[in-house]
Structure 1
């Protein structure tokens, strides 16, 4: 579904929602949290908070959590897609992609990258790899090489801390004109 709870065509990313003939059979609400229950149960559909799309054969594909989607130049970009491409580079141990404000509206994509011990690669080489593997709108504009990524005690990357850093310490790679 799009942001107006309207179906999107195959290949277009939207929110994954669940509905049933009996609306109460999919979700009866969060325990003692009526406001949160109302937020996710709209128009008799359970809004999962996940983004995905149907392919031409009718299969549903998960893209990312909606809160981890980046809106860039009118396109939805799954942070996980960018991270998968960067993490495929031999020198990279891990990465985290996140939105930063753009002067053009929407967001720009920033990525913080941790290299494997004893390995080296430039931010420019990371962007060059992304330009070969990703559509133009999904290539990160800002790349920060970091010693580590902020994590919770359970190992989940704290992207909100990276967002607070903004573009500080990141190399800037404006989109190439064609």
Structure 2
């Protein structure tokens, strides 16, 4: 009986290791350079990582929630004496709200918000001080659709005119700016 258990163990051991691949895939992990802004004293932009070689921006708020954004139009004209970086972040969100006004009437409000954020980073490498200027342009459009179910089961649909709004805001963030490398 002992020999039988030993034989089964050897067979199971051989079967387990015979299925193993010869070579494991090597993950593409490497250090990438970023601009890291900290000590901002801003609750919404508590920590900021601007990737130099990837189209990526990470923003961490004071509650440790991290948001990531794809960057475009990245230009880095920094020198040994000063930082000079600019890029753009484009975002779009769509929100739909459905209100039931009565048993036969519903209202649907669809709001589309497009935001263009232009980032300009300046500062001194010698003093590790950075100033980040963010120009935020927001355009929103809301369309209201009302649907009424008639007694015969047919629907009457009314679409309202789009309501458009736009706003502009500027956020200035000061903080400690360092150039570091992180794993991608």
- Larger-gyration structure (1/2): 2
TM-score by length of 2: 0.27
The structure in which a higher percent of residues are strand is 2
Choose between structure 1 and 2: higher helix proportion: 1
